[in-house]
Amino acid sequence: MSTRAQIAIQTGPEKWAHIYVHYDGYPTHMLPALARWTPKDILAASEIRQVRSDELDYFDPPHPPKMLPYPTREFCHLYVWQGGAWADITPDTPMPERPQL
């Protein structure tokens, strides 16, 4: 069974791209694997089978990222770019502040 995850990248005010990751979305794999990749790299991949430290294995053709006004956890794990590094936003970790709609 796959551990699915999402990577949320802020692309504008109240605009977050959510990139789907199909395999190995658990933090002990994802955080070291993501360390080498920038938000620009992840956005270019658009829809990812697996993040590895040496390669982004992405779907071809990919589905475009889901665009939402704030980071949203739809799978087990959500990763966001914070302070120049990737962070795992798990259920017991506070989410970035959600704007009032």
Q: Who's near 75: CB < 8 A, 6+ residues apart?
A: 4, 5, 6, 25
Question: pLDDT confidence of 101, banded at 50, 70, 90?
Answer: very low
Q: For the residues 2-20, what does the mean pLDDT come to?
A: 94
Q: Which residue has the higher pLDDT, 93 or 35?
A: 35
Q: Average model confidence (pLDDT) for the chain?
A: 89
Banded model confidence at residue 76, pLDDT cuts 50, 70, 90? confident
CA dist 37 and 28 (Å) reads 16
Which of the four pLDDT bands, split at 50, 70 and 90, describes residue 2? Answer: confident
SS3 56: strand
HSE-CB of 59 using CA atoms within 13 angstroms: 14
